């Protein structure tokens, strides 16, 4: 299993627009073979871990006032499968719709963190 993970701050006022965009994106990724697609809004971002000192998402992301932290992930069979799915997604006409060319994203893309992860434990 292979997972692409994303952490990003989204202005709370843009959550509806982000969700609409993510819903459309999820359909495209699934259409081209992604196994699962999740968009998760922060709920308990400073959990009590007892005496353990941990890094929290707010410390990591440093959200500005009025921003909400999202954690998103897409699941694939393997890294090769991820690469094949993403290649198809990027060629999908919906991803290149001229109507979206000049539209501003509902979040600051430069503050998004992204990476691919190879699963080492699956229970």
Mean pLDDT within 73-91? 97
Query: Can you tell me whether residue 21 is helix, strand or coil?
Result: helix
Q: What is the mean pLDDT of residues 5-13?
A: 96
Residues 6+ apart with CB under 8 A from 56: 45, 46, 47
Stretch 80-106: mean pLDDT? 88
48-72 pLDDT, tens per residue? Answer: 888 888 888 898 889 999 999 999 9
CA distance 92 to 28: 8
CA distances from 19 to 13, 22, 64, 78 (A): 11, 5, 19, 26
User: What pLDDT does residue 102 have?
Assistant: 73
Which domains does the chain carry?
2-44+56-96+111-118 (3.30.70.100)
pTM here? 0.89
User: At 59, which helix (H) or strand (E)?
Assistant: helix 57-61
Among residues 67, 80, 95, 48, the alpha carbon closest in space to that of 7 is found at 67
């Amino acid at each position: 299993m292979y997972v692409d993970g994303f952490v990003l701050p989204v202005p709370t006022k843009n959550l509806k627009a982000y969700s609409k965009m993510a819903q459309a994106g999820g359909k495209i990724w699934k259409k081209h073979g992604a196994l699962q697609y999740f968009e998760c809004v922060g709920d308990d971002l400073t959990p009590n871990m007892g005496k353990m000192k941990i890094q929290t998402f707010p410390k990591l992301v440093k959200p500005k006032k009025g921003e909400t932290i999202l954690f998103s992930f897409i699941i694939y069979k393997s890294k090769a499968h991820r690469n094949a799915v993403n290649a198809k997604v990027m060629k999908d006409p919906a991803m290149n719709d001229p109507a979206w060319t000049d539209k501003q994203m509902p979040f600051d893309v430069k503050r998004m963190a992204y990476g691919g992860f190879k699963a080492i434990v699956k229970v």
